[in-house]
């Protein structure tokens, strides 16, 4: 049995896409959602999918190893950041080297780093007159958005496309390719 732990902070559309993708996969178990916002929609989605949730605050997440203790008991094959906005602390990236992945709604290395998430990225891409954008799935290390790239998918930006329109097209890419990439990384037949 391959075990996944999901980290998310917001609405949970990627969590939902991942859960639905693996719903009929008997070799995969989504063991836990780690969230830093009790009021996030993803918490209710996890409850509906019968996934246990660990709510973390900054103090427990950064200044103690409580999160590591919980995760270590599960022994995950993969930790998936599906819209988690906090930087992952070194104690987790060291223990789970090449076992933590993130999805970023741009073609890294462009438009990465602190503060580059959600609509902020898409506005910047449009402002910079980029001709393409897309998604990047990458390993997580101690720096924001600098881990080794696993997968990228590019799309052309349409003339006069708004950041909101681009955001919706990028989200469709995320929902399609994130579960597929997770599947591949888990080496499931």
Would you kindly state where each structural domain of the chain is located, as residue ranges? 2-185
Q: What class, spelled out in words, does domain 2-185 have in CATH?
A: alpha beta
| 109-162: pLDDT as tens digits | 999 998 899 999 999 999 999 999 999 999 999 888 999 999 999 999 999 999
Average pLDDT score, the chain: 96
The yes-or-no answer on residue 122 being catalytic is: no
- In the chain, helix, strand, coil percent, each to 5? 40, 25, 40
| Stated pTM of the model | 0.96
For the chain, how far is it from start to end, CA to CA, in angstroms? 12
Asked if the bond preceding 109 is cis, omega within 30° of 0, the reply is yes
Give the distance from CA 27 to its chain's centroid. Answer: 21
Residue recorded with tokens 């906005």: 85
Calpha distance 189→179 (Å, rounded): 14
pLDDT digits (tens, 9 = 90+) for 8-18: 999 999 999 99
pLDDT bin (cut points 50, 70, 90) of residue 189 is: low
> Confidence class of residue 74 from pLDDT cuts 50, 70 and 90?
very high
Half-sphere exposure of 145 (CA within 13 A, CB side): 21
Where do the H-state alpha helices sit in the chain? Answer: 13-22, 41-48, 58-63, 66-74, 90-95, 118-127, 163-185
């Amino acid at each position: 049995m391959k075990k996944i732990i999901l980290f998310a902070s917001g609405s949970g559309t990627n969590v939902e896409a991942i859960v639905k993708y693996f719903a009929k996969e008997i070799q995969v178990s989504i063991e836990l959602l780690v969230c830093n916002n009790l009021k996030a929609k993803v918490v209710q989605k996890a409850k509906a999918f019968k996934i246990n949730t660990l709510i973390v605050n900054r103090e427990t997440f950064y200044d103690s190893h409580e999160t590591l203790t919980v995760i270590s008991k599960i022994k995950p094959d993969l930790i998936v950041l599906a819209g988690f906005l906090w930087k992952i602390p070194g104690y987790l990236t060291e223990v789970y080297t090449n076992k933590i992945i993130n999805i970023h709604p741009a073609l890294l290395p462009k438009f990465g780093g602190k503060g580059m998430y959600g609509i902020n990225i898409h506005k910047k891409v449009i402002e910079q007159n980029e001709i393409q954008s897309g998604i990047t799935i990458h390993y997580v290390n101690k720096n924001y958005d600098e881990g080794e790239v696993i997968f990228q998918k590019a799309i052309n930006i349409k003339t006069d496309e708004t950041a909101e329109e681009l955001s919706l097209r990028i989200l469709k890419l995320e929902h399609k390719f994130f579960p597929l990439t997770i599947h591949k990384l888990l080496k499931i037949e």
